Amino acid sequence: MAQEFDVLVIGGGPAGYVAAIRAAQLGLKAACCESAAYADPKGEPRLGGTCLNVGCIPSKALLYSSELYDHATHAFVMHGIKVEGVSIDVPSMIRRKDNIVTQLTSGIKGLFKKYKVTFLAGHGSFVAEADGLWKMKVGNEDVVAKHVIVATGSRARHLPGIPVDNVNIVDNEGALKTESVPKRLGVIGAGVIGLEMGSVWKRLGSEVTILEALPDFLAAADQAVAKEAWKVFTKKQGLNIQLGVQIKEVTTGPNTVSVKYENDEGDQVLEFDKLVVAVGRTPNTEGLNAAAVGLKLDARGRIEVDDHCSTNLRNVWAVGDVVRGPMLAHKGMEEGVMVAECIAGQAGHCNYDTIPWVIYTQPEIAWVGKTEQDLKAAGIPFKAGQIPFMANGRALGQGDTTGFVKVLAHAETDQILGAHIIGTNASELIAEAVVAMEFGASSEDLARTAHAHPTLSEVMHEAALAVDKRSLHF
Ligand code: FAD
Ligand code: NAD
């Protein structure tokens, strides 16, 4: 007898496990299947997806460890703290990260028990629709569901002719389990992973070279932020970032990787001890039997969905990295909640205009809404207020004065259209702007909101005041 559910979620990443939990909270009989074991010692499928296992969480753990090392070796001295004989034990750093991953992934299993979500270990795929029900396979088991939510996520995109073995040439998975500091680290792609992973190993002592195809650095960010980031990463921190390169050939020796590429000065060759390939991600749609049931994909191989993540098939939904929009865990989670609520007959909603972006370098980079270049291109009249962290007492006390906050508001209505931060704790500070935009606030609303003193959040306050040219401390 096939197991029957109101909702079967395929994929146990942040989009999928959140969709399953929300569906169960709303009284639906929900199951979630997952096929990947990741680093599970028994080789059993593990919940949490890319994010918990080989993405957000492990990368942030390593970023924090490497930042502490950087503080000990470079920043303590300005506070009069003398430390000698500081060294890094990379295997211990990696074990700490692995323990955090294990703790969190088993935590999701606990949440499933608490909310009565059935966890099905195995690969999920479509069989057929009959009498308004979806017949599915999970592993070798037959499963029947009224609704199916596809949350199969994405995997690292690889480049032709560059064989990723996750030893010498690595993608995100190998980059997160490297057990020693490579003397020379090469990275292809100056995107989010390239900058975050490049920062980890640079802080620990690698010479890092990042090779980027595009002529512009951080093209999606506000250009003032990108300019400041370029200055800090290349001049202060010593990341060697080369733009506008074309990779021609990658060859591997016993312990080296040689990269031949072209830039505006002609052909170049660099040798590395390790090469990270971080050139974006590919949606996981293979093995779903999608074509047989007629599930429509878009031109980029993602599952086609409408604003409510409904696909072209009745009662089939898709969320997270496998559909359009930014490949971010919190975007997938918002979609998971929206779809579960729609299935339960509620008015599920996801505000795509207020999804924040964060790059966890140091300084951190965070933004929400429109950039100046977006507004100019759309012909939207705007006012800008920009305040440097240098003008903030808390930032000075901490010795973290790099960067600024910029608030963009409509020139006529004063509604906040975007906020852009480069600076310490930008990842936390951006939340205020997200909430303000979610509630349609004006820069005047933010300017009239009391901010605790002394805090970094006062820079957001001052930037909102600066929109109206009345900042008080700058
Ligand atoms: P995934 O997390 O990819 O999960 C999908 C799951 O479905 C996988 O476990 C897969 O094994 C499973 N699956 C696939 N097909 C099947 C099938 N047929 N049957 C059963 N199971 C299946 N985002 C952020 O917001 N913040 C960050 O700081 C951040 N850092 C990142 C760092 C790195 C190094 C990487 C690689 C990504 C990072 N991301 C970050 C992106 C984030 O990880 C993804 O956006 C997020 O994991 C997408 O969630 P998802 O549930 O859609 O897919
Ligand atoms: P990305 O899209 O951020 O960056 C990829 C970079 O590689 C781009 O700048 C692209 O121009 C460049 N590139 C592509 N092909 C190239 C080539 N042949 N040669 C040289 N450069 C090339 O992708 P990513 O860094 O791989 O990360 C994937 C996704 O994972 C991100 O887009 C993001 O959605 C998510 N992620 C998020 C976070 C975060 O939220 N902090 C962290 C890591 C990853």
What is the Å distance from ligand 1's center to 58 Cα?
13
Looking at the CA of residue 46, tell me the nearest atom of ligand 1: 9
Residues 318 and 420 in one domain: no
Half-sphere exposure of residue 423, counting CA atoms within 13 Å on the CB side? 32
Which domain-ending residue is among 261, 279, 297? 279
Distances (CA, A) of 78 to 169, 199, 400: 38, 21, 11
Within a domain: 133: yes
Within a domain: 114: yes
Residues 14 and 112 in one domain: yes
Helix (H, G, I), strand (E, B) or coil at 105: helix
Burial class (CB within 10 angstroms; exposed 0-12, middle 13-18, buried 19+) of 411 = middle
So what's the pLDDT on residue 182? Answer: 97
* Residue to mutate, 56, 154, 334, ligand 1, most ligand atoms under 8 Å from C-beta: 56
Which domain-ending residue is among 279, 299, 315? 279
Residues 457 and 399 in one domain: yes
What one-character DSSP code corresponds to residue 89?
A: -
Q: What is the CB neighbour count within 10 angstroms for residue 95?
A: 12
365 lines ligand 2 (CB under 6 A): no
- The single residue listed with the structure tokens 């906040």 is 416
What one-character DSSP code corresponds to residue 324?
A: S
Which domain-ending residue is among 334, 350, 366? 350
Within a domain: 7: yes
Residues 136 and 204 in one domain: no
Residues 197 and 268 in one domain: yes
Residues 368 and 321 in one domain: no
Do the beta carbons of residue 363 and residue 424 sit within 8 Å? yes
Within a domain: 184: yes
194 lines ligand 1 (CB under 6 A): no
Within a domain: 44: yes
What is the Å distance from ligand 2's center to 192 Cα?
5
Distances (CA, A) of 400 to 86, 114, 127, 203, 458: 22, 42, 56, 17, 14
Within a domain: 363: yes
Q: Is-catalytic flag, 74?
A: no
Residues 256 and 132 in one domain: no
Residues 329 and 409 in one domain: no
pTM: 0.98
Output the domain CATH number for residue 212.
3.50.50.60
The residue among 435, 381, 376, 384 whose CA lies nearest residue 405 is 384
* Residue to mutate, 51, 284, 335, ligand 1, most ligand atoms under 8 Å from C-beta: 51
Cα–Cα distance measured from residue 233 to residue 173, given in angstroms and rounded to the nearest whole number: 24
Output the domain CATH number for residue 368.
3.30.390.30
So what's the pLDDT on residue 255? Answer: 87
Cα–Cα distance measured from residue 261 to residue 192, given in angstroms and rounded to the nearest whole number: 21
Residues 309 and 326 in one domain: yes
Number of separate domains in the chain: 3
Taking every pair of Cα atoms in the chain, the longest distance, rounded to a whole number of angstroms, is: 74
Burial class (CB within 10 angstroms; exposed 0-12, middle 13-18, buried 19+) of 7 = buried
Helix (H, G, I), strand (E, B) or coil at 316: strand
Residues 254 and 114 in one domain: no
CA dihedral in degrees (233, 236, 239, 240; nearest 10)? 110
- pLDDT per 10-residue tile (average), the chain, 474 residues: 96 98 98 97 96 98 98 96 96 98 97 98 97 96 98 98 95 96 98 98 98 97 98 98 98 94 96 98 97 96 98 98 98 98 97 98 98 98 98 97 98 98 98 98 98 98 98 97
Residues 56 and 134 in one domain: yes
Identified catalytic residue from 74, 79, 349, 453: 453
Within a domain: 164: no
Domain of residue 398: give its range: 356-467
Residues 237 and 313 in one domain: no
So what's the pLDDT on residue 254? Answer: 86
